[in-house]
A = this chain, B = another copy of it.
């Protein structure tokens, strides 16, 4: 006899593995007779407001299994700040469908939503267990070793920087600096993953710009110039926002004074901004790119470790709910680095909602990361990166006068 039904939703920006968490939760829930129907909220909490629910237990088995290899949010997503009227409506719909378990897959904001719904149900005396499942490529949720979604974007960044590095090194005669702007506004975990591409260490002319480190223009230009002297080129990887020591956004310096053809202020990407600065101040040929969405959706670079952990986080959420727990988010707890082992735990919503975990100082060196970061991040990308070759550089003895 079921205690009630379960609702599950996906929220915020998608990842390559968020559907793995959905699958994990659904498959675990369907194994337990104390859980009735497993209902998917279409477009996150908006599915509760609109009463748009899917019966996930009735999905064909190949569709459910296929979630593991399908990126983005299969249920649809939302970004909605709840109003008091929303609170009442959510409880009305939950009551109407006898929803007694609510699982929400999301990041900092979604954990705040979960916290509100849990508090409301308790205040109204409605018996509801709420469990959060972490999801964010930004890797900025506190209390968990890392977040499902991060390992795959880290793999994408590491592999892409390997590929771009090869491209740049081969074009040194006509291109000197490349700036790659990756995601991550306040936390630099994604940009830091570029360091995983530098194997053997020191083979890539990397310059990392992370929001945790105040941006100093003179030091930055000096570092780029040094890389250019050493390698004939430099590869800058920057988070999408950087701040000066006084806290001001770096690209605002340009954005504030540039107006487009239609009279609107243009907010530049920081990558384009750095590229223009380098071209102007150092006189080097420079290109910048902003890959954007593809980095968080690229199934060709998915981390198998991340996929498995996302699924396990979904399963763990159901187990927590069945243990009578509520008001907590599943966490990933690292047991050991070598061999890498990770298990699941739980943390109260209050300790994760609306908070950000930045890269700790001990993982950082100027314009780069310390070995401790590599130790932390390497297992998360799930296996080794490609093994590229480099031609032996010994030249044939010259027979002509040099030019």
- Residues of chain A touching chain B, judged by Cβ–Cβ distance below 8 Å, are 10, 13-14, 16, 37, 39-40, 42-44, 46, 49-56, 58-60, 62-63, 66-67, 69-80, 89, 92-93, 96-97, 159-160, 163-164, 166-174, 178, 253-254, 256-262, 264, 266, 276, 280, 287-294, 296-301, 386-396, 398-400, 402-403
Cβ contact within 8 Å between B54 and A396: yes
| Shortest Cβ gap from A44 to chain B (Å) | 8
Cβ contact within 8 Å between B261 and A96: no
Cβ contact within 8 Å between A391 and B291: no
Residues of B within 8 A of A299 (CB): 159, 163, 386
Q: Tell whether A77 pairs with B170 under 8 Å between CB atoms, given A39-B396, A290-B289, A396-B39.
A: yes
Residues of B within 8 A of A43 (CB): 172-173
Cβ contact within 8 Å between B97 and A399: yes
Q: Which residue of B lies closest to A178 (CB)?
A: B293
Cβ contact within 8 Å between B167 and A402: no
* Of B75, B174, B290, the contact of A290 (CB 8 Å cutoff): B290
A93 to B290, CA, bound (A): 42
A375 to B10, CA, bound (A): 37
* Of B60, B178, B261, B301, the contact of A254 (CB 8 Å cutoff): B261
Q: Give the oligomeric copy count.
A: 2
Cβ contact within 8 Å between B396 and A72: no
Cβ contact within 8 Å between A92 and B297: no
A44 to B174, CA, bound (A): 12
Cβ contact within 8 Å between B78 and A174: yes
Cβ contact within 8 Å between A293 and B300: no
* Of B79, B258, B266, B291, the contact of A292 (CB 8 Å cutoff): B291
Cβ contact within 8 Å between B92 and A400: yes
12 contacts between A and B (CB under 8 A): A39-B396, A46-B173, A69-B386, A72-B171, A75-B391, A80-B173, A159-B299, A163-B299, A258-B266, A288-B292, A289-B294, A300-B301
Residues of B within 8 A of A178 (CB): 293
Cβ contact within 8 Å between B297 and A164: yes
Q: Which of A75, A253, A262, A296 has the most CB of B within 10 A?
A: A262
Residues of B within 8 A of A14 (CB): 166-167, 170-171
A59 to B386, CA, bound (A): 20
Q: Tell whether A70 pairs with B166 under 8 Å between CB atoms, given A46-B173, A291-B289, A294-B160.
A: yes
| Shortest Cβ gap from A402 to chain B (Å) | 7
| Shortest Cβ gap from A401 to chain B (Å) | 9
Cβ contact within 8 Å between B298 and A392: no
Residues of B within 8 A of A77 (CB): 170-171, 173-174
Cβ contact within 8 Å between B169 and A72: yes
Q: Which of A39, A77, A79, A276 has the most CB of B within 10 A?
A: A77
Residues of B within 8 A of A76 (CB): 169-173
A390 to B301, CA, bound (A): 21
Q: Tell whether A97 pairs with B396 under 8 Å between CB atoms, given A50-B403, A300-B300.
A: yes
Known: A89-B403, A264-B276, A291-B294. 8 other contacts (CB 8 A): A72-B169, A73-B171, A97-B399, A163-B298, A256-B261, A258-B259, A258-B266, A260-B276
| Shortest Cβ gap from A306 to chain B (Å) | 15
Cβ contact within 8 Å between B160 and A298: yes
Q: Tell whether A60 pairs with B292 under 8 Å between CB atoms, given A79-B174, A258-B261, A280-B262.
A: no
Cβ contact within 8 Å between B169 and A391: no
A75 to B398, CA, bound (A): 17
A399 to B92, CA, bound (A): 10
| Shortest Cβ gap from A110 to chain B (Å) | 13
A79 to B74, CA, bound (A): 46
Q: Tell whether A390 pairs with B63 under 8 Å between CB atoms, given A53-B395, A97-B396, A166-B72.
A: yes
| Shortest Cβ gap from A168 to chain B (Å) | 8
